[in-house]
Amino acid sequence: MENLSENIQTLFSYDTELSADSVEWCPHEPHQNVFVCANYQLEEKRDDHLESTVVHRTRKGRVLLFSITADNGLKLHETVNCPAVLDQKWCHERVNDSSHLGVVNANKEVTIFKLNVEGTSLETATTCNVDSDESETLVLSLDWSTGIYQSNEPEIICSDSKGNIHLLHLCGDSLQLIDTWNAHKFEAWIAAFYYWNTNIIFSGGDDSMFLKFDKRVGNQPVSRNRSHGAGVTSIHSNKSKEFIVATGSYDEYVRIWDTRNMKSEMSSIKMPGTLWRLKWDPFLQTHLLAACMLGGVHILNVQDIERMKIVGSYYEHKNIAYGADWCYSNKEFCDNFDGPGSSILGTCSFYDHLLCISKFDGIDVK
């Protein structure tokens, strides 16, 4: 039997000090060797009084900006302190010639950063608070509308711990909240655009519901799917294959959907652990990178949708593997680093605050 762990070899590892939950590579040349890793740390302070004990909780975060090169290895350029980060995504295309990073946090905020020309620093462009309620709200996920269609005024969709979905519009350095609606009974773990038609928005929640919305007809879902056996945690539209969307769930299954028939999935595969993040590869969109929490990180070959199979496994993360992303750099760049393989991955895990950069041998990258 093939040892799938041999297909992924570690290049660098790094102790992020605080719990790590997200890795995202910049998609734009010449900074495709640049990435961010985010932290989420819950700190508790106890105040003991004569009659009671009060526990004060602070959700602390950071965004760490790194690069990798053959000469300098893994290099930390900047640490941005902020409220605890739940998710972050680079805008797929440049906005007004700048690389933009969207970050959502535990303080009800969506913040947009710009990467400087040298790729060594993040500048805060704008921040929007999505909830005026005094109770705690964690913004859990975000996605940009630019998976296929470039825009200098893109939209952002995000989800929160109250089950709400928020639609925002970036215009210049102004981020405006356009609409908010309640979608799920419990946490809305994920919201994502259908890249082929960004009027279509998907969401997944802890109520096990996979919902499809159409902005043109209001805020009620146009389809409700109950196929997932537990919370829906990840949704990613395929930018090369129209109608194809992947979902991941706490029920340990990856499912592939045809948006023309949302009653049941095209195919599914049981993974070695509960899903948190799914990412189509940025090259041909034939492989999925899956962060499976306590079950490791894995790569699925989805060229034949009916016969999906795991082709790479990574078990360096001994704790909850939340973050996973593909580096956009080509094979020529990857060849500068030791070992076989034509693609580079970034992954991170939570309580052991471990960031790993590795090399995958098993995908055709030009």
Tens of pLDDT, residue by residue over 308-322, are: 999 999 999 999 999
Q: Model confidence over 164-190: pLDDT tens digits? A: 999 999 999 999 999 999 999 999 999
What radius of gyration do the chain's Cα atoms show? 20
Closest residue by Cα to residue 342 from 351, 350, 334: 334
Report the C-alpha gap between 103 and 86 in whole angstroms.
Answer: 8
Side-chain half-sphere of 337: how many Cα atoms within 13 Å? 26
Place of tokens 């350095």: 173
pLDDT at position 47, please? Answer: 72
pTM of the model: 0.96
Spans in the chain with pLDDT lower than 70: 1-2, 48-50, 54
pLDDT at position 188, please? Answer: 98
The dihedrals phi and psi of 150, each to the nearest 5 degrees, come to -70, 145
- Could you tell me the CATH superfamily of domain 4-44+54-360? YVTN repeat-like/Quinoprotein amine dehydrogenase (2.130.10.10)
Neighbours of 141 (CB within 10 A): 25
Closest residue by Cα to residue 210 from 201, 219, 199: 201
Q: Model confidence over 194-245: pLDDT tens digits? A: 999 999 999 999 999 999 999 999 999 999 999 999 999 999 999 999 999 9
Report the C-alpha gap between 138 and 309 in whole angstroms.
Answer: 34
Report the C-alpha gap between 286 and 308 in whole angstroms.
Answer: 10
> What's the mean per-residue pLDDT of the chain?
96
Neighbours of 30 (CB within 10 A): 9
Residue spans of the domains in the chain: they are: 4-44+54-360
pLDDT at position 1, please? Answer: 46
Please give the C-alpha separations between residue 324 and each of 116, 190, 203, 234, 347, in angstroms, as whole numbers.
Answer: 24, 15, 20, 12, 4
Dihedral angle sign, alpha carbons of residues 103, 139, 271, 144? negative
